[in-house]
Amino acid sequence: MTWLITGGAGYIGAHVARAMASAGERVVALDDMSTGIAGRLPADIPLVRGSFADRALLDRVLAEHAVSGVVHLAARKQVGESVEKPLLYYRDNVAGLTVLLEAVVAAGVRRFLFSSSAAVYGVPDVDLITEETPCSPINPYGETKLTGEWLVRATGRAHGISTACLRYFNVAGAAEPELSDTGVSNVIPMFFDRLTRGEAPRIFGGDHPTPDGTGVRDYIHVADLAEAHLAVARNLDARSPGGHEGGDLTVNIGRGEGVSVRELAGLVAEVTGHRVEPVVEPRRPGDAARAVASAARMTGELGWTARRGVREMVESAWEGWCLRHPEARAQ
């Protein structure tokens, strides 16, 4: 079978494409190159440039490559931007997904894996977030991800498609420096960016009800995340509609371990050699005190467990950052 990976030249997408191809799966990547980098993909993975909302292009790609499964990663994902531009997020993340699903149904594709987010939960006051924790997103980005889950599941049930929705927690690190995240919207590259410019890292909120007052988060190495996609994709065959396990699956992708932002800042200082005391600023609206996944379903039902720790995430992310910012290394 052949898997189409939308957003396949992106930070997460390239890791997923490489992991699946290395495991013997046939893969084709689709990316509009707005944030994708062609060089992230090896030459033996075909890269189609274009949008997942382009129905004519989708029909052609699904047919020419005999696609039998889709991993949908392409989406807008900046929380702040989603608040400022909700129409843009609903258009791309929801209306665009509808176009993709219509093409999938028409082509007879029978497997669909959807990239969701822990943002669907909002800010639940629980020690561990399970898949049964009520979903109450607090921003348009999280709303579009939850709406996307509904669309995917409903389409799967109506048209005999095995589906899976993966709710990512905080993704970090890189399998290779060349594959690292080029953005600065996540906390680790945000720390790197400030240190590179000779500024103190910022911590938002020092008065949370946590051991050190800073928010606690669950971090997952992007290489582990990619391997989780492979495990779920291969499991979809056993979850064919009408089968004994059911045709849809929803799982958290995290380590089940919390790390505070202050602890993370200390680890960044150790790894980078930039021992600059962070500055603590007021909480941002909607920031949860604690957001840690229960990974029991992935372990129990699919036998998958994250293998890489937070230090490895920071070290690999730092190597990627320094590849693009050689001036960042401490003298």
Please give the positions annotated as active site: 141
Contact present, 153 and 162 (Cβ < 8 Å): no
* Alpha-carbon dihedral sign for residues 98, 103, 108, 111: negative
From the list 36, 141, 39, the residue with the least C-alpha distance to 88 is 141
Distance CA 119, CA 130 (A): 13
From the list 322, 203, 318, the residue with the least C-alpha distance to 263 is 203
Cα-to-chain-centroid distance, residue 182: 14
Distance CA 72, CA 113 (A): 6
Helix axes 187-196, 310-324, angle to 10 degrees: 50
Contacts of 248 (CB under 8 A, 6+ apart): 152, 153, 156, 157, 162, 163, 164, 165, 239
Distance CA 8, CA 12 (A): 8
Distance CA 142, CA 186 (A): 16
Distance CA 181, CA 53 (A): 24
Counting DSSP H helices and E strands in the chain, the numbers are 11, 14
